Amino acid sequence: MAESEKSGGWAMAGIGLGIGVVLGLCLAPPSQPSQPTNPSLRTLDANLWLQTSGEFRALCLQTYRMAGERLKELRKEPARDGKKDAVVMDLDETVLDNSPFQTSLFRDGTVYSDERWGAWESGHPEEVRAVPGAVEFIAAAEKDGATVHYITNRKEGSRKPTIAALKHLGISIEGIDARLHLMKNKERDKEERRQAVRAKYRMVMLVGDTLSDFSSEFTPAKADAGDPKALQDAINERNAKVEKLRRDRWGAEWIVIPNSSYGEWTRMAGNDPLKVMNPTTLKP
């Protein structure tokens, strides 16, 4: 083939390729704008587990049944100082199931805020559900003679709707004002309120869904959300306390109810949760 013919062929090929590219761009469907990620997507599976899984229900029923049996054992020996027995319980995600609120966050593509929680807490007590087994456990404890106190970080201004939620679930509200210990200021630590109950009662059992419901020693160390090393150190320290400091109390005096949606542990995940997790070395 002559050199001129080669040049002409390459030229025609280039023109054809250019026309093809132009036609492809013109005929291709317009690109769709990327959809924003739902900020509550991270908790979707956790809330699905709470609302739909039989495993969650079975675990709660199992835990409360064992707690009831253990409570009877603890109460066999009367208090030496003559005090009456008290069971201290957290409310949210221990007695009260607020998963409908969590669902609304995903539905509306938003995240938790004090304002939104306040609207749920004060305006929708009839939509609060009961954690499986909680109502029966409370009724049995009270029938057996124990006084049930609630130490919660709901604010004092939510006293009426909180009582309404308990009544809605069929939980006794007799003498409730003396048994409902809400947060009177911004101090979330519950130790002072626990001590107030201990001053009048023998506290035989604590029930909660987060470690600070049992002791202030489990309050997570403060760590920068952008510092994986500090976050991991705080996680390790808290886990070590669970394993070593109070191992004998879990299931004996301290009863933990599962809560996969939120808690102190979620704040320890930081900005990039993968950096405080343990992935395999498996390659894609």
**What average pLDDT does range 133-152 have in this prediction?**
98
146 pLDDT above the threshold of 50? yes
- Give percent of the chain above pLDDT 90: 75
Name which residue leads in pLDDT, 64 or 27. 64
Beta strands 129-130 and 96-97, pairing class: antiparallel
**What average pLDDT does range 132-147 have in this prediction?**
98
Q: Can you name the CATH fold of 41-276?
A: Rossmann fold (3.40.50)
Comparing 28-42, 61-75, 82-96, 159-173, the range with the smallest average pLDDT is: 28-42
Closest among 142, 132, 131, 133 to 95, alpha carbons compared:
131
**What average pLDDT does range 151-173 have in this prediction?**
97
How confident is the model over 16-45, as pLDDT tens digits?
A: 444 444 344 444 455 555 667 899 998 899
- Interacting residues of 281 by C-beta distance below 8 A, sequence separation 6+: none
Name which residue leads in pLDDT, 17 or 232. 232
Name which residue leads in pLDDT, 102 or 12. 102
How confident is the model over 233-251, as pLDDT tens digits?
A: 999 999 999 998 778 999 9
68 pLDDT above the threshold of 80? yes
Q: What confidence score (pLDDT) does residue 232 get?
A: 95
Q: What confidence score (pLDDT) does residue 185 get?
A: 80
184 pLDDT above the threshold of 90? no
Q: What confidence score (pLDDT) does residue 246 get?
A: 78
**What average pLDDT does range 92-97 have in this prediction?**
98
The structural domains of the chain, with segments of one domain joined by +, span 41-276
107 pLDDT above the threshold of 60? yes
Q: What confidence score (pLDDT) does residue 33 get?
A: 58
